[in-house]
Amino acid sequence: MRIQTLYIDQAVADHPLCATIAARLGLSPEPVASPETAYRFVAAAADPVATGKRSLLLTHNKGAFIRPCPGTRHYTCCNYMILHIGTFCVMDCAYCILQSYFHPPLLQYDVNQKDMMAALDTVFAERKIRRIGTGEFTDSLIWESIDPVSEKLIQKFAGQEQAILEIKSKSVHMEHLLDLPHNRKTIMAWSLNTEPVVAREERGTASIEARLRAASRCQERGYPLAFHFDPLILYPGCENDYLAVLDRLFDSIDPSGIVWISLGSFRFMPDLKPIVQARFPASKMIYGEFIKGMDGKMRYFKPQRMALYRALVGRIQQAAPQVTAYFCMEDDEAWQQAFGFTPAEKGGLPAMLDRAAVRHCGLRL
């Protein structure tokens, strides 16, 4: 983490984890009376997004640590649960919604981890299947150099049988996790894209080769795996490029160890467009043919995205028919056209993913 400024909320100034993180970063912290003070400093910068990626606020989560994924009633949602360990990311992807989601965007890490573990105990005690991930509002692995939170969580989840943890990343900082007794209750997951997209739109991320190599090493150590092709970005020749990435995936990884693969096309709220134009002037992705969807997000015209969906779903079903593939935020018509069925015919998307988790991770009620 290339942190230049470390803010510490006075409410947690005496927390031992703050001193540990400051020492690991080699920085003298700047105390702030409240998180809002740090927000104002970042918001005043010429490029708040870039400044926020180099500024870290240590604070405490006053709200719920575990919350439902913010899906939409207009598209099929998977009922994923988000475990909040921190927010924002040091990597810099042009399409990242976090650039406009947080005001201002700022790396924020919650040090009251005893409360987080207590929240997990409450969820575990419900004795219901839960799919929980840390990679929705941040990248799951970026924090490991300052605090090995994934290591703590893997060991926490290993001691129960009702829930799985998904660690999703574009990083490969996972060597310290390989020998942990994970009990197959953690799914190691990577976001994948084509080489042109990684080169043009994903600053500071690991290469596709490195991600697949890391996934292979995790599979060797018994971890279940997942992969996410989201966002799929349309450009001339993209279909062949995405199919090539799928082929590399199945050449590198035994499909029998893949819990699920998700697919989702590039979509964004309109206020992201000027941010991309200012921060990624060479990017062409926001100039595609878009229409406003039912959730207010700009989406590719359905015939365009369906052509790519059908090609990728066909390749997955051909190469790895046992793998559960699914759409993130699409409607029944898209499912029918690409998969030949709707989630309701399989008991619903949450049930489909729960069954995959039970099959691969040994969940028991």
**Do 144 and 291 share a structural domain?**
yes
Please give the radius of gyration of the chain, using alpha carbons only, rounded to the nearest integer.
20
**Do 126 and 51 share a structural domain?**
no
**Do 77 and 19 share a structural domain?**
no
pLDDT, tens only, 100-135: 888 888 999 999 999 999 999 999 999 899 999 998
3-state DSSP call for residue 122?
A: helix
Residue 272 domain flag: yes
Report the C-alpha gap between 229 and 312 in whole angstroms. Answer: 10
Distances (CA, A) of 147 to 58, 110, 115, 142, 153: 12, 11, 16, 9, 12
Distance of CA 79 to the CA centre of its chain: 15
Residue 107 domain flag: no
Residue 27 domain flag: yes
Q: What is the pTM of this model?
A: 0.96
Report the C-alpha gap between 27 and 114 in whole angstroms. Answer: 25
CATH of the domain at 253: 3.80.30.30
pLDDT, tens only, 311-350: 999 999 999 999 999 999 899 999 999 999 999 999 999 9
Strands of 181-296 (E only): list them.
186-191, 202-203, 225-232, 258-265, 267-268, 290-292
Residue 105 domain flag: no
**Do 224 and 194 share a structural domain?**
yes
Does residue 72 register a pLDDT over 70? no
**Do 267 and 183 share a structural domain?**
yes
What value does the mean pLDDT take over residues 196-200?
97
Residue 108 domain flag: no
- Listing DSSP states for 269-282 in one string gives -TTHHHHHHHH-TT
Question: Cβ(188)–Cβ(218) under 8 Å?
Answer: yes
Report the C-alpha gap between 228 and 233 in whole angstroms. Answer: 13
- Edge-to-edge order in the sheet of strand 267-268: 267-268, 298-300, 290-292
Question: Cβ(295)–Cβ(72) under 8 Å?
Answer: yes
**Do 162 and 127 share a structural domain?**
yes
Report the C-alpha gap between 331 and 72 in whole angstroms. Answer: 11
**Do 180 and 132 share a structural domain?**
yes
**Do 4 and 78 share a structural domain?**
no
Bridge partners of 163, per DSSP, are 130
**Do 123 and 28 share a structural domain?**
no
Q: What is the pLDDT of residue 1?
A: 81
DSSP 190: E
Does residue 209 register a pLDDT over 70? yes
Question: Cβ(189)–Cβ(168) under 8 Å?
Answer: yes
User: Which residue range(s) make up the domain with 50?
Assistant: 1-59
Q: What is the largest CA-CA distance in the chain?
A: 58
**Do 223 and 268 share a structural domain?**
yes
Residue 106 domain flag: no
Does residue 300 register a pLDDT over 90? yes
Q: What is the pLDDT of residue 75?
A: 75
3-state DSSP call for residue 50?
A: helix
Q: What is the pLDDT of residue 295?
A: 85
What value does the mean pLDDT take over residues 165-178?
97
Question: Cβ(185)–Cβ(163) under 8 Å?
Answer: yes
Bridge partners of 7, per DSSP, are 30, 57
Q: What is the pLDDT of residue 285?
A: 95
Residue 177 domain flag: yes
Nearest partner of 323 among 349, 350, 360, judged by Cα: 360
Residue 365 pLDDT class (50, 70, 90 cuts): low
**Do 351 and 282 share a structural domain?**
yes
Number of domains in the chain: 2
Question: Cβ(3)–Cβ(21) under 8 Å?
Answer: no
**Do 141 and 290 share a structural domain?**
yes
Exposed/middle/buried for 43, CB within 10 Å: 0-12, 13-18, 19+? middle
